[in-house]
Amino acid sequence: MTDTPTPKSSNQMWGGRFADGPDAIMEAINASIGFDKRMAAQDIAGSRAHAAMLGATGILERSDVDAIREGLLTVLSEIEVGTFQFSTALEDIHMNVEARLKDLIGDPAGRLHTGRSRNDQVATDFKLWVRDQLDAAERGLLALMRALLAQAEAGADWVMPGFTHLQTAQPVTWGHHMMAYVEMFGRDLGRVRDARVRMNTSPLGAAALAGTSFPIDRHMTAEALGFDTPAANSLDAVSDRDFALEFLGAASICAIHLSRFAEELVIWSSAQFRFVTLSDRFSTGSSIMPQKKNPDAAELIRAKVGRIFGANTALMMVMKGLPLTYSKDMQEDKEQVFDAADNLMLALAAMTGMVSDMTANRESLAAAAGSGFSTATDLADWLVRVLGLPFREAHHITGSLVALAEQKGCDLPDLSLDEMQSAHAGITNDVFDVLGVENSVRSRISYGGTAPERVREQVSRWKDLIS
């Protein structure tokens, strides 16, 4: 696909970058075909539905409707195979399609615009495009969640350290950690589905802003395009971009979750952690250091959040001060959404690939799980549960034993019973049963806890929810 060149003239006021005259400058700032041609399929779908309705209501002759339908299919085919000539002089996708349609079928093409405006046309096209992206995001999230569920099921009883402040806190299981991200992406899935329900009203037929005097059937076009109902207020229909903002909002939160997980994969795949091994498919080497295996896919996912946040902020700034109804400012609504959607889908696909391919290093996870006094809380809980101590006293005793173990250069289970009893005489040999990391994770049986049986229950629940 190529852009049709436009004539040039001198520009003495601006010169340099703009060698064309003021008319060419206006064309450059006014034209949106460079990016809104991405909505060609949606534009043609909307026009086909509108033409069919015009025929069904008797507004157009059947011969005109048939010519328009066949002509639009030809235009779509030309666009899909790359022979369509886009022109900046025709401003946008709507006028480019209509001009080519006129070349193909003559006068009937001019009747297609009866009962509609570019205002409701672009709102309809954009809604259809965003709806497609919400559907794509749903598919991407489901694929990622299934990959995480497979990891969680395989490692439901593999111990690893749980962290707060990136410091060892308590032992958890690999499966439990994977399921935390299933919960996050499950909320993203809910936001995507919820946004799709709320946005699914049709602007088509709202015309410029006030509706139309033609006896159109907006319910017919809404149904043909898969909308639940026509938008109920013509002013709102042409000026609403909430659907795009909701998509960007949901994308931004999802990008946060992707970025958090990406950060963990960067850390976990390092030589200092060795928690996971990422596949070669999602890693790169160094141009100078032959030993390097860089988690570049994770790092790039981590960076995508900036672009998606930026798109969200940009569109909010475009919309924040606009009076009803349509203003040309709203032409700036699409590029940010297009970019955010592209990057979200790419990040979801890359993360799904990494999760599917990565190998959790069970031995490294287990070795780290027992370090850093990770069972200190289990000791404090035992003192409360078995000896009946107030928790604050148990906390103090445990802290003193941690200090002793640190001084001796060992972990809590390595202290002798005599050393334990130096902190409290009531401690018995039974305390050592709770100090192992395997025992620790098995004991966390509260709903939502890290015990392997609870992890498997949550895996089963989510499998049912997304099956």
Hunting for tokens 């001198």 — which residue is that?
Answer: 10
Hunting for tokens 């690893």 — which residue is that?
Answer: 160
Verify whether residue 286 is a known catalytic residue: yes
Backbone angles phi, psi at 49, to 5 degrees: -65, -40
The CA distance from 156 to 321, in Å, is 51
The CA distance from 305 to 313, in Å, is 12
Cis, bond preceding 277 (omega within 30 deg of 0): no
202, 225 in Cβ contact below 8 A? yes
SS3 401: helix
The CA distance from 228 to 217, in Å, is 14
The CA distance from 435 to 467, in Å, is 39
> Taking the alpha carbons of 120, 121, 122, 123 in that order, is the dihedral positive or negative?
positive
Q: Which of 165, 213, 446, 467 is flagged as catalytic?
A: 165
Reference 157, options 389, 418, 416, 453; nearest CA is 453
Backbone angles phi, psi at 292, to 5 degrees: -75, 140
Relative to beta strand 276-277, strand 359-360 is antiparallel
Helix, strand, coil shares, percent, the chain, to 5: 65, 5, 30
Residue positions counted in the chain: 467
Hunting for tokens 């093409």 — which residue is that?
Answer: 109
**DSSP string covering 205-265, please?**
T-TTTT--SS---HHHHHHHTT-SEE-S-HHHHHH--HHHHHHHHHHHHHHHHHHHHHHHH
340, 251 in Cβ contact below 8 A? yes
Reference 96, options 109, 114, 81; nearest CA is 109
The CA distance from 52 to 44, in Å, is 12
Strand partners, 9: none
Q: Which of 9, 279, 286, 371 is flagged as catalytic?
A: 286
Cα-Cα end-to-end distance for the chain: 41
Reference 341, options 296, 388, 308, 386; nearest CA is 308
Residues carrying an active site annotation: 165, 286
